Amino acid sequence: MGDIGKGLRNLLEKIVYHIPGYAGYQKRERRRETDHLYRMYLVDKLRAIKRGFDEVSTKITDMGNLDLLKPVDRIYKKLEKITDKVRFADHGYKGFFDVVSVDFPELEKLYNFDLSLNQDIIALKEKVDILTKALDSDTLLPHLEGFMKSIDEFNEKIASRDECITGISGG
């Protein structure tokens, strides 16, 4: 029975690949899935940053430094926002019937853009590590402000993702 199923599948694949445009469609679907998997990888890295910042936040609370609670809360919310933006970003390919179709050169630009996000996430992780080391110092507030600025810059970069495809500014 397994040989019959395998033979039938091979026959269907041969038939389907004779349909004009189907092979390209399959290739784009695989690229779309790859794009999604990569973004989920970035989301996992952002969640790890958030967990690291949770530890910083807990230590700040335990220290009783109430002046820092407001910036800590704002940072936490911004981390949530950028994580969701990456998680729910459009896939790197639009379907046949969508208004905006992404061609391969634009898709390549989008992949390069998404790869650069990884470097930005590494920089955010380094800032959390610095915050952890600065917990007992007087430089904690400037470090928090610097971390918040880096998150804002990352947020702006994510917002420009659509421009990478369309060339039209979203803001």
Residue 155 CB-density burial (10 A; 0-12 exposed, 13-18 middle, 19+ buried) = middle
Q: Does a structural domain hold residue 15?
A: no
pLDDT at 43: 95
pLDDT, average across residues 29-56 = 89
**Confidence (pTM):** 0.74
Asked, for residue 13, whether it belongs to a domain, the answer is: no
Give the residue numbers spanning the domain of 158. 29-166
Q: What per-residue confidence (pLDDT) applies to 124?
A: 96
Q: Does residue 48 fall inside a structural domain? A: yes
C-alpha 90/C-alpha 86 separation (Å) is: 9
For the chain, give the number of residues: 171
Rounded mean pLDDT, 108-132 = 89
% of residues, the chain, pLDDT over 70? 68
Residue 151 has pLDDT above 80, yes or no: yes
Reported as a single tens digit per residue, the pLDDT across 61-109 is: 998 888 899 999 999 999 999 999 999 877 654 444 343 455 666 667 7
Instruction: Tally the domains of the chain.
Output: 1
| Residue 140 counted as domain residue | yes
> 8 in a domain, yes or no?
no
Examine the pLDDT at 5 and tell me if it is beyond 80: no
Q: Is 1 within a domain?
A: no
Most confident by average pLDDT, 36-40, 101-105, 154-158: 154-158
- What is residue 94's predicted lDDT score, i.e. its pLDDT? 47
Tell me whether residue 63 is in a domain: yes
| Residue 152 vs residue 9, higher pLDDT | 152
Q: What is the pLDDT of residue 98?
A: 43
Query: Does residue 162 surpass a pLDDT of 80?
Result: no
Instruction: Please indicate, yes or no, if residue 18 is contained in any of the structural domains.
Output: no
- Are the beta carbons of 90 and 162 closer than 8 angstroms? yes
Query: In one letter, which amino acid is 160?
Result: S
- Give, rounded to a whole angstrom, the gap between the first and last alpha carbons of the chain: 58
- What distance in Å separates the CA atoms of residue 113 and residue 164, rounded to the nearest whole number? 8
